[in-house]
Amino acid sequence: MTTTRLSGLYAVTPELADTADLARRVRAALRGGARLLQFRCKTADAARRRCQADAVLAACREFGAALIVNDDLALALAVGADGVHLGADDGDLAAARAALGPRRLLGVSCYADPARAGEARRCGADYVAFGSFFASATKPAAVRAPLRILTDARQDLDLPLAAIGGITLANAPLLIEAGADLLAVVSDLFEAPDIAARAAAFTQLFSEKATS
């Protein structure tokens, strides 16, 4: 598995039918400094999902980044990804931990639910994700999470914390200040006019936090 520090920009892929365009955008994000990337694809058939996952994995290997597959343990294992990210309806966490083994990453969506985060930790999660913190075009109906959930989780859990949902370069500092180790970003990254520059700007936020 690629050695991964669970901190910084967590790039989450958009839904794109064009695999070449997806790979181009992913490479731009990686060129800008993203070292953790989640392949998220809800609408494609199995063949295209596999093709896109292979393409994204190749880009991650080129840049020394880790690939996490969203919601599909079987696909993550099939392509040799570095881990899987599971939501509430995506299978048993303990079984996923066992299938992944000790070297691959398990991330868990916890929405605005500290109890689920505690359960994820007990099942061997490597990080937990909270959100949506802001209005999100990707998940417009998502339950909103308060910033304080990050602050409380920082005290209660010894796990890296990911924030997700409507994150932009403008509101990202609020989440980092509240305790987020990872910022999971879709639209504000992959729809930026210069994806590499936007990735670099997100990455710089964490550098500034480390030196403040």
pLDDT tier, 212 (very low <50, low <70, confident <90, very high otherwise): low
- The torsion angle over the Cα atoms of residues 81, 131, 91 and 46, rounded to 10 degrees, is -50
**Catalytic-role residue among 109, 121, 136, 198:** 109
Closest Cα to residue 70, out of 83, 59, 58, 79?
A: 83
Give the C-alpha separation, 203 to 164, whole Å.
16
pLDDT, tens digit, 9 for 90 and up, residues 43-60: 999 999 999 999 999 999
Per-residue burial over 44-80, b if 16 or more Cβ lie within 10 Å, else e, is beeeebeebbebbbebbeebebbbbbbbbbebbbebe
Q: Kind and range of the H or E element at 129?
A: strand 127-130
pLDDT tier, 158 (very low <50, low <70, confident <90, very high otherwise): very high
Give the C-alpha separation, 194 to 212, whole Å.
27
pLDDT, tens digit, 9 for 90 and up, residues 77-124: 999 999 999 999 888 999 999 999 999 999 999 999 999 999 999 999
Our answer to whether residue 209 is catalytic in this structure is no
Give the C-alpha separation, 88 to 208, whole Å.
34
Residue 64 has pLDDT above 70, yes or no: yes
- Look at residue 140 in the predicted model and tell me its pLDDT: 76
pLDDT tier, 208 (very low <50, low <70, confident <90, very high otherwise): confident
Our answer to whether residue 212 is catalytic in this structure is no
Percent of the chain topping pLDDT 70: 96
- Look at residue 210 in the predicted model and tell me its pLDDT: 66
The answer to whether the Cα torsion of 33, 35, 36, 41 is positive or negative is positive
Our answer to whether residue 139 is catalytic in this structure is yes
- Concatenating the DSSP letter of every residue in 12-65 gives E----S-HHHHHHHHHHHHHTT--EEEE--SSS-HHHHHHHHHHHHHHHHHHT-
pLDDT tier, 198 (very low <50, low <70, confident <90, very high otherwise): very high
**Catalytic-role residue among 27, 40, 49, 198:** 40
**Catalytic-role residue among 139, 144, 154, 187:** 139
Percent of the chain topping pLDDT 90: 88
Q: What's the alpha-carbon Rg for the chain, to the nearest Å?
A: 16
132 and 139 Cβ atoms separated by less than 8 Å: yes
